[in-house]
Amino acid sequence: MITIDHLHKSYGTKDQRLHVLKDITFTLPDGCMACLLGPSGSGKSTLLNILGGIETMDEGDIIVAGNHLAPMNKKQLELYRRKQLGFVFQFYNLVENLTVRENILTGAYLSDDPLDVDALAEELGIVDQLHKFPSEISGGQAQRVSIARAMAKKPSLFICDEPTGALDYESAKAVLHLIEDLNRKYKTTVIIATHNEAIASMCRVVLRLHDGALKSCEENEHILSAEEVQW
């Protein structure tokens, strides 16, 4: 289970404090797929970055697979990121001077028990791209590569920040399909931040942020498959 417990985050100086996350509390069951919705600036990326150990919190705690994040120092957070997390971002964040295969290997190297890169490439439909550099592949392919890199280490938590934000409809649907497959196959907990309301219908838990506050945390009774989702 993932627990977010009375989380607070603010930026700025003492006189000019911007409260970006205000007393956020919720839990996610292991292996679930969750969606984080909210307008631009509502705090989605900040929440994911704190959950991912990239940003620190001011108050509260987060518990992932029994690990309490609040008391962790830099080194411990780094280990947590390396062992437990897979990240996928809107603009892929691939290493430009490494081939696709090498990019995926950077994920695999972080694990004691990684997935096989060739089998993963086959599963994600990027076998023909393995020898290319990121500048030689399409956006949809690049996002598949970044998913492969994140999944190669078999993370327990898969964090996706606007994974389809830069993609056309068909590529976005394909990427959602892959995320859904990986969630089912490896029972990885997935949390997706997005502006796209349609993505919420394929997630078991739907979280809504507004102006740094959690407005609702609801369970979907009827979950659509990535194939059925339309927008």
Ligand X SMILES: Nc1ncnc2c1ncn2[C@@H]1O[C@H](COP(=O)(O)OP(=O)(O)OP(=O)(O)O)[C@@H](O)[C@H]1O
**Binding status of residue 45 toward Mg ion by CB under 5 A:** yes
**Binding status of residue 42 toward ligand X by CB under 6 A:** yes
**Binding status of residue 171 toward Mg ion by CB under 5 A:** no
**Binding status of residue 140 toward ligand X by CB under 6 A:** no
Q: Which of residues 19-38 bind ligand X (CB under 6 A)?
A: 20, 38
Q: Which helix (H) or strand (E) holds 63?
A: strand 59-64
Report how far residue 135's alpha carbon sits from residue 200's, in angstroms, rounded to the nearest whole number. Answer: 31
The contact pattern for Mg ion, residues 177-206, with x = CB under 5 A and - = no contact, is ------------------------------
Task: Report how many residues bind ligand X under the rule CB under 6 A.
Answer: 11
Q: Which helix (H) or strand (E) holds 35?
A: strand 33-37
Of 13, 16, 40, 230, the one binding ligand X by CB under 6 A: 40
Report how far residue 172's alpha carbon sits from residue 92's, in angstroms, rounded to the nearest whole number. Answer: 13
Task: Report how many residues bind Mg ion under the rule CB under 5 A.
Answer: 2
**Binding status of residue 46 toward Mg ion by CB under 5 A:** no
Q: With both helix axes pointing from N to C terminus, report the angle between 169-186 and 139-151 in degrees, rounded to the nearest 10.
A: 10
| Residue located via tokens 């407005």 | 215
Binding partner at 20 among ligand X, Mg ion, none, C-beta below 5 to 8 Å by kind: ligand X
Q: Which helix (H) or strand (E) holds 75?
A: helix 74-84
Q: Candidates 42-50, 66-74, 139-147, 176-184 — which segment interacts with ligand X by CB under 6 A?
A: 42-50
Q: What is the distance of C-alpha 42 from the center of its chain? A: 17
Q: Judged by CB, which is closer to Mg ion: 44, or 204?
A: 44
**Binding status of residue 43 toward ligand X by CB under 6 A:** yes
Sheet containing 205-210: give its strands across.
Answer: 85-89, 157-161, 189-194, 33-37, 205-210, 213-219
Candidates 176, 182, 216, 215; CA nearest to 196 is 176
Q: What is the widest separation between alpha-carbon atoms in the chain?
A: 55
Nearest distance from C-beta of residue 39 to ligand X, angstroms: 7
**Binding status of residue 99 toward Mg ion by CB under 5 A:** no
Q: Candidates 26-34, 40-48, 93-101, 213-221 — which segment interacts with ligand X by CB under 6 A?
A: 40-48
Binding site for Mg ion (CB under 5 A): 44-45
**Residue numbers at the binding site for ligand X (CB under 6 A):** 11, 18, 20, 38, 40-46
